[in-house]
Amino acid sequence: MSFSSLGLSAALVNAAQERAYREPTPIQTTAIPAILAGRDVLASAQTGSGKTAAFCLPLLQTLVNKPRGETRAVQILILVPTRELATQVGETLRILAQHLPQPVKLAVLFGGISINPQMMHLRGGADIVIATPGRLLDLVSHNALQLSAARTLVLDEADRLLELGFADELHQVVTLLPVQRQNLFFSATFSPQVTLLAKTMLHDPVQIEIATTADTAPDIQQRAIVVDAKQRTQLLRHLITSEKWPRVLVFVATKYAADLISTKLRRADINAEAFHGEQSQGKRSQVLSDFKASRLKVVIATDVAARGIDVSQLPVVVNYDLPRSSEDYTHRIGRTGRAGESGLAISFVCADSANEAHFRLIEQRHKIKVAREYIPGFEPTLDGAASGVAASDATVVVAVSDPNGGIKGKRPSKKDKLRALAAKSE
């Protein structure tokens, strides 16, 4: 199967080939003709599946023969949950559109930076808008853009949009769009919320579910190392040095932990930076571009910030803190092993917390079994932990990990667990 046989013009096929896309991925093979035919699409798109190009290529194709004047009405609206994903989708569109006979005007809009340059950029309109919902509505309320001529709405990472609480904004945006339009939903997971939204918004959609087979599954080796919580930074340092990883993305539970661990690594002469939602947009962009250009070796990131990061040739991801959900686990480890490369995902499982039980749950959900490893010099020291005994009873865990806290017989709340995690990230 080739890109040209899917109905794409030579300019787009060439641009795809220049990006080393030799042939369409399974999601592209199905989505591209459906989108070109004007159909609604509901796609379960795993991370790394090539979903961005699956909608960018056909949407650019629909602009090819459309005459466009000086003032451009927004034709395509792409809603995304995070700034990084907005930037990444914008970048993919820019590169894929570069050989088109008529230039395509893109507007990438997100919060956390001044609104004025975005308002200036929108003078004269735009063909495609890629936006996070909050900033989009801000710009609409400033009369900086109009959406009444948009003929296609894309929700990229629809599950994440809803998880981040954008449901109200989404509904508001929809009221600004024409009733007759094409709707494209891409979502890694199908929560009841996503399914309900899809039911109310999509008309007879082409449903795409790419089964994860040995051919399509990214080649990611998964490892789990049992370690005391307090030893994790030391272990991370040891692994970075002894394994000679050129680049590593490390996930932690809190912004505080990201700042603290990156500072500690820098003190040990390891080129590391934090990456999280409380940094300025300028700082985040700088960290990401330094990481992509290999000027940075280690990035310590939180979940919100790291979703959507696409760094090619990222060989290792480390879960310093375990992710809260098995979906987040998929997203985190999906940062490595992208586009046919192989990758390594290491999870630290703390012997002295409820981590073991939590990691077992992740294993169950993913139908995998990852052998527990012990690294010489970093073996857990707590009773029971050394023998790999699971912390299956949360009450026991509170007593062990926090001798001063935890009331006997009281199960720790979600907040208690988060606080405990934050306290351990030192």
Residue ranges binding ligand AMP (CB under 6 A): 19, 21, 24-25, 28, 47-53, 310, 312, 338-339
- For ligand AMP, the closer CB: 71 or 312: 312
Q: E strands within 172-323?
A: 182-187, 206-209, 219-227, 248-251, 272-275, 298-301, 316-319
| Minimum distance, C-beta of residue 288 to ligand AMP, in the bound complex (Å) | 14
Distances (CA, A) of 385 to 175, 388, 406: 55, 5, 19
| Minimum distance, C-beta of residue 368 to ligand AMP, in the bound complex (Å) | 21
| Minimum distance, C-beta of residue 71 to ligand AMP, in the bound complex (Å) | 31
Q: E strands within 288-384?
A: 298-301, 316-319, 342-350, 372-373
Quote the CA–CA distance of 260 and 276 in Å, as a whole number: 12
- For ligand AMP, the closer CB: 50 or 205: 50
- For ligand AMP, the closer CB: 86 or 145: 86
- For ligand AMP, the closer CB: 53 or 274: 53
Residue 177 · residue 147 · CB < 8 Å: yes
Quote the CA–CA distance of 149 and 387 in Å, as a whole number: 64
Q: Edge to edge, what strands does the sheet with 206-209 contain? A: 106-109, 128-131, 76-79, 152-156, 182-187, 41-44, 206-209
- For ligand AMP, the closer CB: 124 or 340: 340
Nearest alpha carbon to residue 353 among 254, 252, 414, 424: 424
Residue 85 · residue 308 · CB < 8 Å: yes
Q: Which H or E element spans position 106?
A: strand 106-109
∠ CA 296-299-300, rounded to 5°: 155
| Minimum distance, C-beta of residue 411 to ligand AMP, in the bound complex (Å) | 38
| Minimum distance, C-beta of residue 57 to ligand AMP, in the bound complex (Å) | 9
| Minimum distance, C-beta of residue 47 to ligand AMP, in the bound complex (Å) | 6
Q: Which residues contact 2 (CB under 8 A, 6 or more apart)?
A: 13, 23, 24
Residue 33 · residue 57 · CB < 8 Å: no
Quote the CA–CA distance of 54 and 28 in Å, as a whole number: 4
- For ligand AMP, the closer CB: 50 or 125: 50
- For ligand AMP, the closer CB: 15 or 177: 15
Quote the CA–CA distance of 30 and 405 in Å, as a whole number: 55
- For ligand AMP, the closer CB: 48 or 406: 48
SS3 (DSSP) at 277: coil
* Beta bridge mates, 131: 79, 109
| Minimum distance, C-beta of residue 156 to ligand AMP, in the bound complex (Å) | 9
| Minimum distance, C-beta of residue 16 to ligand AMP, in the bound complex (Å) | 7
Q: Hey, what are 144's tokens?
A: 């900086």
| Minimum distance, C-beta of residue 35 to ligand AMP, in the bound complex (Å) | 15
- For ligand AMP, the closer CB: 186 or 275: 186
- For ligand AMP, the closer CB: 226 or 344: 344
Residue 83 · residue 160 · CB < 8 Å: no
| Minimum distance, C-beta of residue 199 to ligand AMP, in the bound complex (Å) | 25
- Using a 10 angstrom Cβ sphere, with 0-12 exposed, 13-18 middle and 19 or more buried, the burial of residue 120 is exposed
- For ligand AMP, the closer CB: 25 or 152: 25
| Minimum distance, C-beta of residue 177 to ligand AMP, in the bound complex (Å) | 24
* Beta bridge mates, 345: 222, 317
Residue 53 · residue 156 · CB < 8 Å: no
